[in-house]
Chains A and B, each alone.
Chain A
């Protein structure tokens, strides 16, 4: 049987299969029929309505493309802008890659299982598009590549599949945002991502989500990091969403491979977030870190983390801190699993309200109680992320700054 037919067969069998965790989404309630949008030239991008541009900027997409190494922009089901601005960095829509490049078959559904659940199945059976971003061996990304998955049509089910490859000795920085247009209320986003970090390569992947209040979001991601490689994954979600559930998995498959995950979540009332990270440390010298900062304003947040140390001489740390500002729920579920002597694994989790002592201290310097609270919250969300390029740090800072008004 042809490989495509095999994948389709497996997907069909999983079409009713519920996710391992998180509330079930009835995909029948959404429409996944293609929505035509025409391709936009550079100047068309800049001519988009101000409101829409603002949504894009919030998700890290700079329409002027200054200080960007390339752009992938998908609106609903269609790619409306896609190109690389740097030699050695490729940005290709995945449908095009599947049609024209045989090598993509070495990566497509090789880490994520097509029959994992109904969402992976839907992404195979009803694939709209997605991006393939690849840094060729030895090339170094000067500016980050930006990718944006934008939802405009109300009631849409968007199915995307992304593949990110950092070839040997290369360095790739990506900022990716998902956003919805200002009038969009309800929809579902299914996103498959497979990450390949090859020998001595470095990949930083910063994802900023700006959803609408009635969005259901089901990303499914798996990464593999080879010897000496580094995978740095940042996730920021400060806006309301109906339900977001993801549990990305990373396999460190060569010695001295490193993975670090940083997540910053602000949970609004009526929103439900179930997220975390799982990292398998399989070779000596592997390092892993999962750091999560969550604030609930009345939303429900489940913050998971799972580190699995399979061999000696690995080091892994899990840190989850949560602040309850206005009711809601923060449920931290840190898991450490050691399978060998000589692993060094730790976790710390702390959930609570803002310490009155800290507020009083700032008030003694002349800040009002509200100013003191805002300052502490901003500090809480200000995580030092080593190795993050300054432009991306600036994007994260801006997202935090913007959310300030909502948090308070």
Chain B
């Protein structure tokens, strides 16, 4: 389980996350909505442990361990993984080697790459000259090899072309054990008990909801988690009246 309690974070001098409380239970996937600049990426980077995001108060607990002060690699080894929006290029490191580095045990990189239609990129340097959509597939491929328990996705659909979008959606769903197809093949309660993976997905378009049976939607507005609701409802509300209106409406109800 991921538990975030009263988390406050600064980037430089700016307070970017304020009093964040969030719980993600095993088997749950949450969708994170919010306008540009509201702090969504910052929240993911803070959970991953990027040191420039300074935690000034509160704590992050994962699998019962207080990870607030842990370095990135220890969090990764504890089972947290992230699909980045704009990861850096690593010159001279082939994607094939990167896949092996991500995996704890030896993996068949060709087989994994096939799942995200990425076989043709295995011998290219990691992220070198990749388009937006190619980066997303490369990130997914790395997560497939890493197979973490908590997965943080920063806009996994942005830049992905029509041909690959359903592939990306289905791969994320299978990583998170949240595919609609899985639910059909197993008794519902059984499937629910079997799920252990946790997910937190940033999306603007909501496309991911077509593939992933998400449990909750969260709206981050001006550094604050302003509402928890059904992700489809949030998407509709924001689509009709915008974030500001949406947050106000929900605050009133609450």
Which positions in A face B, CB cutoff 8 Å?
Answer: 355, 357-358, 360-369, 372, 375-376, 378-383
Contact = CB atoms under 8 A, between A and B. Distances in A.
B65 interface: no
Contact of B104 (A366, A368, A381, A383): A366
Contacts of B90: 358, 361-362, 375-376, 379
Contact of B101 (A375, A380, A383): A375
B91 A364 contact: no
B88 A357 contact: yes
A241 B146 CA distance: 42
B242 interface: no
Interface stretch (B8-16, B27-35, B72-80, B227-235): B72-80
A33 to B, nearest CB: 46
Kindly state the interface size class of chain B when it binds its partner: 20 to 34
A378 B88 CA distance: 16
Interface in B35-75: 48-51, 71-73
Nearest to B89: A358
B73 A368 contact: yes
A299 to B, nearest CB: 21
Interface string B135-159: 0000000100010000000000000
Contacts of A362: 90, 101
Contact of B72 (A355, A363, A379, A380): A363
B87 interface: yes
22 contacts: A357-B88, A360-B51, A361-B87, A361-B88, A362-B101, A363-B76, A364-B49, A364-B72, A364-B73, A364-B76, A364-B81, A364-B82, A365-B76, A365-B101, A365-B146, A366-B101, A368-B73, A369-B71, A376-B93, A378-B93, A382-B93, A383-B92
Contact of B71 (A363, A375, A376, A381): A363
Given A361-B84, A364-B48, A364-B81, A380 B73 contact: no
- Count chain A CB atoms within 10 A of each CB in B50, B92, B104, B142 and give the residue with the most: B92
A358 B51 CA distance: 13
B88 A366 contact: no
Contacts of B17: none
Contacts of A381: 92
A380 to B, nearest CB: 6
B76 A375 contact: no
B125 interface: yes
Contacts of A360: 50-51, 72
A366 B90 CA distance: 16
A365 B92 contact: no
B102 interface: yes
B71 A379 contact: no
Contacts of B84: 361, 364
Contact of B92 (A357, A361, A368, A378): A378
A379 B91 contact: yes
B191 interface: no
Nearest to B84: A361
Interface hub of B51, B73, B98 (most chain A Cβ within 10 A): B73
Contacts of B102: 365-366
Interface in B158-176: none
A360 B90 CA distance: 12
Q: Which 7 pairs across A and B sit closest by C-beta, in order of nearness? A: A379-B92, A382-B92, A379-B93, A363-B72, A363-B73, A366-B76, A365-B102
A157 to B, nearest CB: 38
B144 to A, nearest CB: 12
A367 B104 CA distance: 10
Contacts of A375: 90, 93, 101
B77 A366 contact: yes
Given A358-B88, A361-B84, A362-B101, A367 B93 contact: no
Contacts of B125: 379
Nearest to A369: B73
A349 to B, nearest CB: 15
A380 B50 CA distance: 23
Contacts of B101: 362, 365-367, 375
A362 B102 CA distance: 9
Contacts of B91: 379-380
B131 to A, nearest CB: 18
